[in-house]
Amino acid sequence: MTIKLGVPSKGRLMEKTFDWFADRGVTLARTGSEREYAGAVMGIDGIELVLLSAGEIPRELAAGRIHLGVTGSDLVREKLGLWEEKVGELAPMGFGHADLIIAVPKAWVDVTTLDDLDAVAAAFRRRHGFRLRIATKYHRLIRDYLRDNGVADYQLVDSQGATEGTVKNETAEAIADITSTGETLRANHLKVLSGGPVHRSQATLFKSRMAEWSKDDRRILTDLKDRLGLED
């Protein structure tokens, strides 16, 4: 008769998550030392706090090992194929905003849209004998987005950090990454393609569709949603 709530274990995302719940009368708190990933929930019975990295939470939700989880909407969509079959969105939380975008060098004055990128990619392959490289860690989201928009002549190269620097370092011709202010893009002489972002991400409270939900668990969830002011 306990449901598990997974939240980010450190940093601003953890602090903002704690604040969001506290504003609604539910207190989340770390227990033990700073090195211990232990926590408690006060203000409502039947909920166990599980501290995880934001990147682990989609996996744990999909595996049914936690019932609820707070993480970025971009991470759920990137890490989970057919994500809507595995998790449901309970509430966008209004913080952790960032846009997943595609950016190219500012020097590419004739490239401002995806159609332009498609044309440049085809010409690039003819000229160089290999496909234009886009550096990203969001392989699923970018591949699906480019396919849906008819861009085919490219290859994704993995980048787990300092993605904006890959163009300058000549390991990629374009990038796809999360940005909130755009300052790092501008510093690296990159511009965002027009037409809107691939995905507008924010911290979101998700419910696992794969976890076991007993009658008592569902009652606890209803109590929590009432406390948080969420529609049933």
Mean pLDDT for the stretch of residues 68-73: 98
Mean pLDDT for the stretch of residues 139-166: 93
pLDDT tens string 178-232? 998 889 999 999 999 999 999 999 999 999 999 999 999 999 999 999 999 997 6
Rounded Cα gap, residues 40 and 48, in angstroms: 6
Q: Is the pLDDT of residue 93 over 60?
A: yes
At residue 31 the predicted structure's pLDDT band, cuts being 50, 70 and 90, is confident
3-state SS track over the chain: CCEEEEEECCHHHHHHHHHHHHCCCCEEEEECCCCCCEEEEECCCCEEEEEECCCCHHHHHHHCCCCEEEEEHHHHHHHCCCHHHHEEEEEECCCCCEEEEEEEECCCCCCCCHHHHHHHHHHHHHHHCCCEEEEECCHHHHHHHHHHCCCCCEEEEECCCCHHHCCCCCCCCEEEEEECCCHHHHHCCEEECCCCCCEEECEEEEEECCCCCCHHHHHHHHHHHHHHCCCC
Share of the chain above pLDDT 90, in %: 88
At residue 35 the predicted structure's pLDDT band, cuts being 50, 70 and 90, is low
At residue 69 the predicted structure's pLDDT band, cuts being 50, 70 and 90, is very high
Q: Is the pLDDT of residue 136 over 60?
A: yes
Mean pLDDT for the stretch of residues 65-84: 97
What are 110's strand-pairing partners?
Answer: none
For residue 1, the model assigns a pLDDT of: 64
